[in-house]
Amino acid sequence: MPVVTTAENPPMAAVVARGRGCAPAISGHWTDPSEYGQTLDGDNVQAGGMTEAATSRSYGYASTPLGRLLVVSARGALVGLYFDGHERTPSVHDLATGSSELLTSVGDQLDEYFHRDRTRFDLPLRLEGTPFQIAVWSAVLDIPYGQTSAYARVAERVGRPRAARAVGAANGQNPISIVVPCHRLVGSNGALTGYGWGLDKKRGLLELEGADLSWGIAAARPLARSGR
């Protein structure tokens, strides 16, 4: 997935570059020398500060095997993908229909993902949050399909090696489920730990992607008491 651009939020340049060990390259690309190293296109992802949260929103819905998703867009980009009926899902009273092209793309790509025909999304994203949250979410975007990463490892990648708990908190506030794959973050022992949308959905998404959950399951089992 593309990484966060910083054209609209200059302070993010320092945060993301420090965390990734990256240097901005020519034409809005980032050169990432990390283990997932590749040059990624930053044109499809925007970073928005919290003061921009009042940007006018448009809404729509997409159906998935795990339930209906509320699709939220702003300025032609995806800003939210919420499981319908969840406590974190915005209440939509006056439904303003979003871009039909974007809604169609979201629906089509989700359908391909759930049919295992798509391993990465190609959608315009707008990440809205604090600089730290955006740094965490952009690092999460780099976790490959079918793989997992530990909170502590992401903390190292964003330049805050002792902030694993803060990474977990930021991950829990991710407003764009599935597309920004917060479900791929697990505990250091492989345990699924928490997931804002429910552990059943986290397990379902990881199983869909073919991620190896066996060591996490073993780690989560209580130790048997030895007899005397």
> Which residues 6+ apart lie within 8 Å of 125 measured at CB?
2, 44, 45, 46, 77, 78, 79, 176, 179, 180
Catalytic member of 22, 110, 176, 182:
182
The two tokens of residue 216 are 């996490």
Query: Residue 142: what residue type?
Result: D
Q: Which residues of 137-175 are buried (b: 16+ CB within 10 A; e: fewer)?
A: bbbbbbbebeebbbbbbbbbbbbbeebbebbbebbeebb
Instruction: Check residue 136 and give its pLDDT.
Output: 97
Instruction: Check residue 57 and give its pLDDT.
Output: 81
How high does pLDDT run on average in the chain?
74
Instruction: Check residue 48 and give its pLDDT.
Output: 54
pLDDT for residue 165 is more than 70: yes
Closest CA to 20 of 53, 44, 42, 51: 42
Going by pLDDT thresholds of 50, 70 and 90, the confidence category of residue 221 is very low
pLDDT for residue 218 is more than 50: no
Per DSSP, the three-state class of 13 is helix
Q: What is the pLDDT of residues 19-42, one digit of tens each?
A: 444 332 222 223 232 322 222 344
DSSP 51: G
CA distance 178 to 184: 9
**Active-site annotation holds for 22:** no
Give φ, ψ of 77 to 5 degrees: -125, 155
- R_g of the chain, CA atoms, integer Å: 18
Going by pLDDT thresholds of 50, 70 and 90, the confidence category of residue 64 is very high
